Homo-oligomer: A and B are copies of this chain.
Amino acid sequence: MTACGEPVIQPRPRTIPEATVARLAVYLRVLSALADAGRSTVASGELAAAAGVNPAGLRKDLSHLGPCGVRGVGYEVATLRDRISGVLGVERSRACVLVGIGNLGSALADYAGFGSRGFEFVGLFDAAEARIGQRIGGLTVRPTEELEEVVTATQASIGVITTPAEVAQSVCDRLAAAGVRSILNFAPVTLAAPEGVDVRKVDLSVELQVLAFVGQQRLVPAVGEPA
């Protein structure tokens, strides 16, 4: 039973759950640290403990990449790291633009962790005259007017919005129109984007609110709790 005539053989290119992708990124970081520490192999239990997840769930996550461990031994650190890197596409460099160079934008532009994960900022933009010309992380802040020009020239596919809420939607529209396919939004508004453009929202105050709520809920356990 030879399945000839099927040229593109991808182990398991089917959809990987989003939650799994997020955890893979965490595993990747832990594996890199282990590799730097000189470890050659690691078992799912230890890796799961370091990542803060359940061992069985970790193995299920890894199963999406096909078999990549040795039974009775564990996972080879360097091999698994490279496998995850390949799946997440860390090798390929992705051009990103960042709009809104306030404190948060500066923090992102300065963060060295992005570069090692395949993300390269190719443009920093701000509307304030005072910000323009400032150098952050090796780049010069440019006026917002040049946004479309830079996106087109660099073929940037990712845009990050760290502007005030009032202008976030217009920035989103311009990014989408210029050809950006993925947008990460830190402004506290829900953005609308055309079909084919994926918007992901990170709301810092919501995170704090949820944290505070579960904290206070813990103090009021239940109505009839026997101590």
Q: Which residues of A contact B (CB under 8 A)?
A: 8, 10, 13, 15-16, 18, 21-22, 25-26, 29-30, 50-52, 88-89, 94, 96, 102-104, 106-108, 110-111, 113-114, 117-119, 157-158, 160, 181-184, 188, 190, 192, 196, 198, 200, 202-218, 220, 222-223
Contact = CB atoms under 8 A, between A and B. Distances in A.
A208 B158 CA distance: 9
Given A182-B212, A190-B26, A210-B18, A205 B114 contact: yes
A102 B18 CA distance: 30
Contacts of A117: 205, 208-209
A192 to B, nearest CB: 8
B16 A182 contact: no
A106 B111 CA distance: 14
A27 to B, nearest CB: 11
B202 A202 contact: yes
A120 to B, nearest CB: 12
Contact of A26 (B182, B203, B215, B218): B203
A22 B206 contact: yes
Given A117-B205, A208-B119, A13 B190 contact: no
A215 B182 contact: yes
A148 to B, nearest CB: 19
Contact of A158 (B18, B202, B212, B222): B212
Contacts of A104: 103-104, 107
A204 to B, nearest CB: 7
